[in-house]
A = this chain, B = another copy of it.
Amino acid sequence: MGISPDAAASAGQLSAELLGAMAYGELSAFGRLSLDSRYAPTLHDRSVFAKIAVGAYGNFALLNDRLSEMGVDPEQAMLPFQRSFDHFHERTKPGDWFESVMKAYVIDTVSSDFYRAVSMFLDPTTRHFVERVASPDQATEVLRVLIRRALADDPRLASRLALWGRRLVGEALTQAQRVGMEHPLLGPLLKGGGDARAAVRSLTTELADKHGRRMTGLGLTA
């Protein structure tokens, strides 16, 4: 049984949508991480954050090249996602260094979970590509160490960062839902078809659970 040309075209479009969302996500993460590095208490911490921003740019470059290889204009693929990502960043401006580190960690982990979950419904080549780009990496570990260090230095931070983590994940999941709703190809394909709203809701629960376990691992109340 072959794949119909329509289904293949639609799968290709879906891949382009996901990669476009990821590409804009990484480009905007680059800008935000660079901006937030100004809060770093030392030049060393500032350079650590700069390195994480450079990693986000590296991911962006990979996604950009992949879109071009697929014959898709990266700018056109990114544009539909600009508004919701920018909106998210506007609503979650960190107030200090600790909030910046927590934000970087939550975005890194929750968005990776989201992209990998969606990639399950794509062709194997795209899926492997997404898994490679959206895997926990050295930056994830560096951020976790920075949070642990901050909590060890000042245990009173725990309640503030727990609250901030809840707000971040709430905003992130609202954004993921919006992305799922606004982009009709993404929604129905989640969970192998069916009702888009139900599929997106089920994914949201999964992402929130994973986030909760990470927060508990850090000694924070998710």
Q: Is A60 within 8 A of B78, CB to CB?
A: no
9-residue interface stretch from A48-56, A138-146, A151-159, A202-210: A48-56
Given known A-B contacts A35-B34, A35-B35, A27 and B44 have beta carbons under 8 A apart: no
Q: Is A47 an interface residue (CB 8 A)?
A: yes
Contact of A105 with B by CB under 8 A: no
Interface check A1, CB cutoff 8 A: no
Which partner residue on chain B sits nearest A56 by CB separation?
A: B50
A: number of interface residues (CB 8 Å): 27
Chain B residues within an 8 Å CB radius of A27: 43, 46-47, 50
List A residues 7-60 near B (Cβ within 8 Å): 24, 27, 30-31, 34-35, 37-38, 42-44, 46-47, 50-51, 53-54, 57-58, 60
Contact with B along A49-81 (1 / 0, CB 8 A): 011011001101100100000000011001100
In the complex, A47→B82 CA distance in Å?
A: 14
Nearest-neighbour CB distance to chain B for A199, whole angstroms, equals: 29
Interface residues of A (CB under 8 A from B): 24, 27, 30-31, 34-35, 37-38, 42-44, 46-47, 50-51, 53-54, 57-58, 60-61, 64, 74-75, 78-79, 82
Give CA–CA (A46, B28) in the complex, Å.
Answer: 10
Closest B-chain residue to A47, C-beta based?
B27
B43 touches A51 (CB 8 A): no
Complex contact B31–A50 (CB within 8 A): yes
Question: CB distance A57 to B51 under 8 Å?
Answer: yes
- Find A47's partner among B34, B38, B58, B64 (CB 8 Å cutoff): B64
**Further 10 A-B residue pairs, CB within 8 A, beyond A31-B50, A43-B78, A43-B79:** A24-B43, A31-B35, A34-B53, A42-B75, A43-B75, A43-B82, A44-B74, A44-B75, A47-B64, A47-B74
